[in-house]
Structure 1
Amino acid sequence: MTFHVPAAGAPLFQSALANFNPYGGETAVDSKNPERGPLLIIGGEQDHAVPPAITHASYRIQSKNPGTAEEITIPNRGHSLTIDSGWRAVADEALAFVQRFVE
């Protein structure tokens, strides 16, 4: 038996056309927002869905923000680095980053 849940298609179209919208729309990221909190970008060295070149490009954009931006590439890990075995090492990196900014 198959169930269909009716839903608005707008989010799907917004995502699909995000790269073609010169004004940003709902998917725009304000990388210059001075109120942005500390940002940690974590990527997997073997990630083929979001390769290291993409995470590094995101880091370069965000590093121009006055807020803290850091990048970590986890060796020998793919896209599911937070749910595969070894997830705890990734969580430890993220926790160490957060703890540096907790008052």
Structure 2
Amino acid sequence: MNAVIEIEVQNETHQSQHRMRFAAVPRIGEGIRLREPDGIWASYDVLDVWYQKAEYGDIWMPFLHVRLTPGEGEGLSDPCDGEDSAHDLAAEPRFASLAGEAEPFKI
């Protein structure tokens, strides 16, 4: 049987707190993937892990303190703003065009 652990994740980057379910408690220094507010996945570094006694029973709840991995958010603004010229297809007028290609055979 696979156990799922509910962990409170405190996000330093967005100043937010969310309860999430994990199969294992991440360790300090490990990276995890979390969804950004805009829906895009990003890498986060685990800065701190601690446990606090729950309000019920003799149970200790894990807490994580995370921050966006350095360099992860740099290319998230707009992929067509010229920062990544290797993937800029504006100068490719025939990209994804059949101009000059042989027409498929029709039966």
Range class of TM-score, shorter chain? under 0.3
Q: Which has the higher contact order (CA 8 A, sep 6+)?
A: 1
Higher helix share: 1
Higher strand share: 2
After TM superposition, the score normalised by the length of structure 1 is 0.20
- Structure with max Cα Rg: 2
